Structure 1
Amino acid sequence: MSNLENKYQIPIKKTRVRSSTLVFPFGTGAMIDLPDWVLMTVSGEHWDRKKLTTIHDERLEKILKVREFKSPVVKQSDKDLADEKKDKLYIPFVQFPTWYFCPKCRRFKPLKEWEQDYKRVNGDDAVMVIRPVCSKCRIKLAPARLVVACENGHIDDFPWIAWTHLKNHKKICENPKLKIKTSGVTSGLEGISVECESCNARVNLSGTFTGKDKNEFESLENIAKQKQLVDDDFSLKCKGNRPWDGTKDMNCGVYPTTTQRGATNIYFPKIESSIVIPPYSDKFTKMIEESDSFVTMNTELEFIEKRNLSNEEKEKTIKETIDKISEETNLNKYTVKKIVLRKLESSDDESLTTDKTKYKEDEYKALIGDLSYDIFNQADFKVEPVEGSNYGKSYIKKVVLVHRMKEVRVLTGFSRINGPDNNVMDSDDESNEGKCKIIRPLSDKNWYPAIEVNGEGIFIEFDDKLIGKWADENSEVLKRVNSLNKKYYKILSDRGFLLRKITPKFVLLHTLSHLIIKELSFKCGYSSTSLRERIYCNTESDNYNMSGIMIYTANGDAEGTLGGLVRQGKSDRLSKIIDNAIEKARFCSSDPVCIESLGQGRDGLNLSACFSCCLISETSCEEFNTLLDRALIVGTLDNERIGFFNSYK
């Protein structure tokens, strides 16, 4: 574990961290607040790879150009092994932030100085490994509330010493001793100040955040140099600190942004999600993937690639492995060869790496029955199609009850300050997406951290012709959606992201999906966080029409795995659920403000939609609670005709 402090590796069982959260929301580079510490999850190359669970999704592996995914979640079948070796099965963390203060004596300094202080007073610092305590007051230390981060993904402690002195137009004293003082009037930053006992420099924290048009650190640095408070080589620019892997990027060159430790812009995970579909979900593929010989082959092929050995060596390894897998699994050698060679083929369709909508086409085809496969040979994809006529709704073309499905969620990177382009499935190394740098969770290109969710769901296919007719006959619909597009395009172009056109059909399907999730949560007892949506909607440039939504269990190991959600998709219940969802959408406790809104929510990317009527948990929404408009469902006070469900029952 070079570059990392061994003493700050905390076993999962002691931190009480749910292992699945180490992919999302507390993946590599993210801070997690624990009772005694604030820790940061380290990069994947420092995980104990041999003890991680291997999972596969052949489609996603080819798009991301990796051989496998690794999960910190122990499968149920491996429970006995996990119990036997539970002391060794952990994901390491590092200490961040490193500045702590004592709530009683108010002393404020880095953790290393606290350790030295404790060791000087008590003879050793063993207690500090378990929890940070003040050597004088013997109470638990509290972490600093502020940190600095930059758009290149780096993060560091706030420059407390330099800020306190230079803000007072003083030189940094030789022996700074900081204390945090509170006024008791307010709990906000304006009620907190930092002072140096050595030189009486004092500064209030209310002015620490960077303004919109200027960077406070750049301004402070320029003033300090003009007044000769610092040397010419002094800089408050980002130091390129990467605590998650113990390295530094020495040439970052940008001024950081001050942010609170728990702010939403401190960490944006880039998660790729995929449904495992035929033929990749069949029993034979699963048997081969779980065989010891296949695991060994991947390890050997990785070694061959790293050493740049000959193709003959690679072909020999593959041929020998096919024989071993056939013997181990008792499968026909021809079947094994066909599946293994298919898995080793690279993806020829490069467009999939830049368009999530196109990636979903195969899922849509599998759900509606346009993809031929052996239904009796499926291990992770079992569906029951039901004709839409059974539901008594003109707009429902088909309903598919998904009795069993597997979703794979992969952490491909993260960014800070600016969110990544979530419409792009990026497979490159650390790269810039517009003004947002994506930091990869590990340097090893052969795998990504991931989790798999086995659950159930309801897929609804809508009549595309009816939706098209409704949009064409209502000019007000297009006008409302165009106003969203203008805002959306401005955000995308400013950040350099992939442009896509938001259509009335997409806003309609997305809003209806939210309303159904809220109704399921209210009517059937599912928490909104236990359900997720998947929107299938083609763009105007696509040749293949998709008009569907799937609502499925997001936490398959916790609730909703015993057929409860599928039962709600039966014809005697789903129709009532949709009717109730639409009826409740007609009224919002924030009306008339909500229904008349022309822009609300993040960046004004919602029209008639707020938390009282349409918004759900952001972890359940594909678009982070944006691009919603209740008016397209039920109409406005002035024009009920634009509501799709006022025209079609």
Structure 2
Amino acid sequence: MTDRRLRRMQALSPFGVGAIVDMLGESFVAEDVTRWKGRRVTLAAPRIAAHFGVEELRLPPAPRDGRLPYYRFPQWLFCGTCRSMTHWSVGRERPGMMPRCQHCSRSPQLVPMRFVAVCGNGHLDDVPWAQWAHSGGGRGREQRQCGRAELQFDHLTTVGGGLESLRVRCRTCRADRNLADLTSPRALGRINIGCRGRQPWQRDTEAVTCDQTPVVLQRGASSVYFPDTASAIDLPPDSDWVTWGGTAARVEQNQYFLLLHKDPESDIRGHLIRMIAEQENVKEQQVIAILNDRLGVTGADAGSGTSEELAEREWHALTNPRVRSHPDDRFITRRTPFPGPQGHGRLDPVVDQMRSAISDIVLVDRLREVRVLRGFRRHTMDARIPADLGTRSASLPAVEVYGEGIFIVFDEDNLRRWELQTPVVRNAATLHKRFAGSMHARWIESTPTPRLILLHTIAHLLMRQLTFDAGYPSSSLRERIYASPPDADTPMAGVLIYTAAGDAEGTLGGLARSGQAERLVTTIAATLAAARWCSLDPVCRESKAQGPAGLSMAACHACALVPETSCTMGNVLLDRTLVIDDEYGFMRDPLAELIAVQAATT
């Protein structure tokens, strides 16, 4: 395996486990966590690790600590000069050296074949080029009659464009076949090629039984790799400095505490507790309390929490800001009055209507987000391959990022009345029906309710406006949607717009300042004004199916879509009319007042 260096953030996305990476004319696939080399570095986030059902969250090694293994793939390469094909092997790898042609005098760099074989169960393999070359009709030859096939990848200039002009030929027996049918769904099945049930870097002994027939795709196709990422916010008490940087942190890092945590009922339990207390200069009762707390979060039931339960914990922390915080806490919030006591000039009528829609504003001065790669899928996304392919999955790759944000809580009573309107129910039901039969339902855990679609759309509209008001690039903003289902015990209706950077210092406070009353009123007014009219209206506004699988309605690149890195749902489940429609839009009253103010001043 050739050593290639990436930033830690890139090792999670977009070049995470299972992804194909193109580098300077070479192509590699990232190996799973069990093959990471170097010093083992973990994130101190036990509750988050327990939520994702693992014992630890593992940071990708920094260049000075080790290396991320990337396996050369595809292993079939060809020479752009003489067109001969070479099946590369691990034994021929040399650190930092590119594969070169052994048949040409100048030894040009070999180029990877641009086709790969994948299946819906997530397996990836090289295209069996030797079998393909010998499967053409009219030759009467089979590969086993050639002994050892020497392959040639020809480009036929007399045929024209397309795959018909590409041909794989065996120089031993002259058998050949073009690539015209290569990408058809049953192409490999017709030549009796089945899925080997493994990833390129795995040995045959690690393969699993797979009954699917692989299909051939270009290695850069979007359906070759679907990362399954998730994130969680570090919440109190884990985010408190006294926990991660104070007494508790020192105790947890003690070697005797690690032994005690692995076997809390050990015969020498009392002796270990006394040793820890003496070495860390704390009371034995404190050691016991820390142990009980850690056992409570990493026990058998700790990983059973659902995404809804995680959202409820975050909702509770966001809606109950602390009066005081330590400057080094990783989660610092404060409530700000909205719309604020000071006057807003000509926007006063608009502000009065905003009061009925928005019930609370919380500024998040600092947060720590932990992003996790749970696994990946391929092609039809029938199965998820875990990021840890060891016999016992105990860790997942993760990174931590720091940032700030604005948390907006919407009025629950008004929202409940709005959800019952017939047009609102009809639009949501249409999207829900499409969603249930789409590929997106395999990785989006949320249910498309009127509340979710509304809050998701508002979050997108706000992010687009905040890129102008707060000065952050659109790709640096992210969203978290808190939308409870109709029968939930804890009603939730809020959006968190935040920015997070892979730097311990985080960001500079510009986004949180944009949440102050005098600034946020102007931002919301500008958001509504921009959402009222799309450059593709009336086509966009009247559309009943946009985006993948028709999972959005009035939402397009000109009005509501954001960069893929910013959206938690792949830019689907959006409908601008639910926000601004004259009859049933949730923000129709503030928008009507805004239109009146604009008309009076022109």
**Equivalent residues of 1:272, 1:412 under 8 A apart:** yes
The equivalent residue for 1:610 is: 556
Residues in 2 aligned to 1:239 and 1:152: alpha-carbon distance in whole angstroms: 11
Residues in 1 aligned to 2:492 and 2:335: alpha-carbon distance in whole angstroms: 17
The equivalent residue for 1:417 is: 379
The equivalent residue for 1:237 is: 194
Task: Please tell me the residue identity of whatever aligns with 2:117.
Answer: V
Q: Secondary structure at the match of 1:436?
A: coil
Residues in 2 aligned to 1:349 and 1:301: alpha-carbon distance in whole angstroms: 17
Q: Secondary structure at the match of 1:551?
A: strand
The equivalent residue for 2:294 is: 343
**Equivalent residues of 2:358, 2:411 under 8 A apart:** yes
The equivalent residue for 1:381 is: 331
Residues in 2 aligned to 1:386 and 1:577: alpha-carbon distance in whole angstroms: 16
**Matched positions, count:** 569
**Equivalent residues of 1:275, 1:405 under 8 A apart:** yes
Residues in 2 aligned to 1:615 and 1:562: alpha-carbon distance in whole angstroms: 26
**Equivalent residues of 2:117, 2:215 under 8 A apart:** yes
**Residues 509-541 of structure 1, C-alpha deviations (whole Å, 9 max, x = no match):** 101111111122234332222111100110112
Residues in 2 aligned to 1:503 and 1:113: alpha-carbon distance in whole angstroms: 51
- Establish whether residue 547 from structure 1 lines up as the match of residue 493 from structure 2: yes
Task: Please tell me the residue identity of whatever aligns with 2:584.
Answer: I
Structure 2 residue corresponding to 1:369, chosen from 320, 326, 331: 320
**Equivalent residues of 2:50, 2:303 under 8 A apart:** no
**Equivalent residues of 2:260, 2:272 under 8 A apart:** no
- Establish whether residue 216 from structure 1 lines up as the match of residue 164 from structure 2: no
- Establish whether residue 107 from structure 1 lines up as the match of residue 96 from structure 2: no
Residues in 2 aligned to 1:9 and 1:90: alpha-carbon distance in whole angstroms: 10
**Residues 237-283 of structure 1, C-alpha deviations (whole Å, 9 max, x = no match):** 01123234445425223211222212222222222311011112112
**Identical positions, percent:** 33
- Establish whether residue 252 from structure 1 lines up as the match of residue 222 from structure 2: no
The equivalent residue for 1:232 is: none
Residues in 1 aligned to 2:136 and 2:271: alpha-carbon distance in whole angstroms: 69
- Establish whether residue 273 from structure 1 lines up as the match of residue 231 from structure 2: yes
Q: What pairs with 1:408-487 in structure 2 (closer than 5 Å)?
A: 408-419=370-381, 435-443=382-390, 444-472=392-420, 474-487=421-434
**Residues 31-66 of structure 1, C-alpha deviations (whole Å, 9 max, x = no match):** 2111152122222122236x2322122322222333
Structure 1 residue corresponding to 2:44, chosen from 39, 42, 56: 56
Residues in 2 aligned to 1:346 and 1:32: alpha-carbon distance in whole angstroms: 37
Task: Please tell me the residue identity of whatever aligns with 1:180.
Answer: D
Residues in 1 aligned to 2:91 and 2:69: alpha-carbon distance in whole angstroms: 22
Residues in 2 aligned to 1:205 and 1:457: alpha-carbon distance in whole angstroms: 52
The equivalent residue for 2:70 is: 93
Task: Please tell me the residue identity of whatever aligns with 1:367.
Answer: L
The equivalent residue for 1:360 is: 311
Which blocks of at least 5 consecutive residues in structure 2 are unaligned? 342-350, 592-602
- How far residue 178 of structure 1 moved from its aligned partner, in angstroms, is 1.9
Q: TM-score, normalised by structure 2?
A: 0.85
Residues in 1 aligned to 2:158 and 2:286: alpha-carbon distance in whole angstroms: 72
1:584 and 1:297, CA in 2 relative to 1: closer, same or farther beyond 3 A? farther
The equivalent residue for 1:576 is: 522
**Equivalent residues of 1:281, 1:378 under 8 A apart:** no
- How far residue 210 of structure 1 moved from its aligned partner, in angstroms, is 3.3
1:269 and 1:336, CA in 2 relative to 1: closer, same or farther beyond 3 A? farther
Q: What pairs with 1:4-19 in structure 2 (closer than 5 Å)?
A: 8-10=1-3, 15-19=4-8
1:164 and 1:408, CA in 2 relative to 1: closer, same or farther beyond 3 A? same
Residues in 2 aligned to 1:266 and 1:290: alpha-carbon distance in whole angstroms: 42
Q: Secondary structure at the match of 1:448?
A: strand
Task: Please tell me the residue identity of whatever aligns with 1:104.
Answer: T
Residues in 2 aligned to 1:627 and 1:577: alpha-carbon distance in whole angstroms: 23
Residues in 2 aligned to 1:21 and 1:572: alpha-carbon distance in whole angstroms: 38
1:330 and 1:389, CA in 2 relative to 1: closer, same or farther beyond 3 A? farther
Q: TM-score, normalised by structure 1?
A: 0.80
Task: Please tell me the residue identity of whatever aligns with 1:205.
Answer: L
1:176 and 1:185, CA in 2 relative to 1: closer, same or farther beyond 3 A? closer
- Establish whether residue 142 from structure 1 lines up as the match of residue 101 from structure 2: no
The equivalent residue for 1:282 is: 240
**Equivalent residues of 2:469, 2:514 under 8 A apart:** no
**Equivalent residues of 1:151, 1:417 under 8 A apart:** yes
Q: Secondary structure at the match of 2:177?
A: strand
Structure 2 residue corresponding to 1:402, chosen from 332, 353, 364: 364
Which blocks of at least 5 consecutive residues in structure 1 are unaligned? 1-7, 75-81, 116-124, 222-234, 305-309, 420-434
Residues in 2 aligned to 1:447 and 1:384: alpha-carbon distance in whole angstroms: 34
Residues in 1 aligned to 2:440 and 2:37: alpha-carbon distance in whole angstroms: 41
Residues in 1 aligned to 2:441 and 2:407: alpha-carbon distance in whole angstroms: 35
**Residues 534-590 of structure 1, C-alpha deviations (whole Å, 9 max, x = no match):** 001101121111010111113242996111211221222222222222222222233
Residues in 2 aligned to 1:270 and 1:493: alpha-carbon distance in whole angstroms: 12
How large is the Cα RMSD of the aligned pairs?
A: 3.2
The equivalent residue for 2:472 is: 526
The equivalent residue for 1:641 is: 583
Q: What pairs with 1:499-518 in structure 2 (closer than 5 Å)?
A: 501-518=447-464
Higher helix share: 1
Task: Please tell me the residue identity of whatever aligns with 2:194.
Answer: K
Q: What pairs with 1:561-572 in structure 2 (closer than 5 Å)?
A: 561-572=507-518
Please identify, of 554-563 and 180-189, the stretch whose mean Cα deviation from structure 2 is larger: 180-189
- How far residue 380 of structure 1 moved from its aligned partner, in angstroms, is 0.7
Residues in 2 aligned to 1:456 and 1:73: alpha-carbon distance in whole angstroms: 26
Residues in 2 aligned to 1:343 and 1:325: alpha-carbon distance in whole angstroms: 15
Task: Please tell me the residue identity of whatever aligns with 2:66.
Answer: L
1:348 and 1:110, CA in 2 relative to 1: closer, same or farther beyond 3 A? closer
Residues in 2 aligned to 1:187 and 1:460: alpha-carbon distance in whole angstroms: 54
- Establish whether residue 34 from structure 1 lines up as the match of residue 23 from structure 2: yes
Residues in 2 aligned to 1:453 and 1:494: alpha-carbon distance in whole angstroms: 28
